[in-house]
Amino acid sequence: MNALCRHSLTVCAALVLASGAAHAELEPTALVDQQHCMFCHTRDAPFLAPSFQQIAERYRNVPNAQFMLEHKLRLGGKAHWGDMAMPPAADRGGPLSAEDAHTLVLWVLSQ
């Protein structure tokens, strides 16, 4: 949750509205920062890694992709996009709980 959301429900509602229909989920900023997601990913431009929009496009309608991605976010796995695999959470900023992985995957797939 955004810090402002805890502070005031009104501000929170405004933020959710401002983030617009295109992004149903609020960005889980603290997690994203702690895990350095934006070091390698961007929302819309492939860089060191596929963009979150590309990833969402690829997996949105794939059954069970969510579980595979959550597992991969936590523990790593083989590359699906090229030669470079994503490092496991422990190498990115610390261990990631199943719950946090779930939040992050839902957020990525909402882009």
- Chain residues that interact with ligand HEC, rule: CB under 6 A: 35-37, 39-41, 48-50, 55, 69, 72-73, 79-82, 84-87, 92, 104, 108
Q: Nearer to ligand HEC by C-beta: 20 or 82?
A: 82
Q: Nearer to ligand HEC by C-beta: 11 or 110?
A: 110
Phi, psi of 83 (to 5 degrees): -85, -25
Q: Nearer to ligand HEC by C-beta: 13 or 81?
A: 81
What is the smallest separation between the CB atom of 36 and ligand HEC, expressed in angstroms? 4
What is the smallest separation between the CB atom of 23 and ligand HEC, expressed in angstroms? 15
What is the smallest separation between the CB atom of 39 and ligand HEC, expressed in angstroms? 5
Separation between Cα atoms, residue 55 and residue 53, nearest integer Å: 5
Tell which residue, 34, 35, 14, has the closest CA to residue 26: 14
Would you call 25 helix, strand, or coil by DSSP?
coil
Q: Nearer to ligand HEC by C-beta: 63 or 82?
A: 82
Separation between Cα atoms, residue 97 and residue 2, nearest integer Å: 19
Tell which residue, 52, 49, 55, 54, has the closest CA to residue 87: 49
What is the smallest separation between the CB atom of 71 and ligand HEC, expressed in angstroms? 10
CB 54 within 8 A of CB 22: no
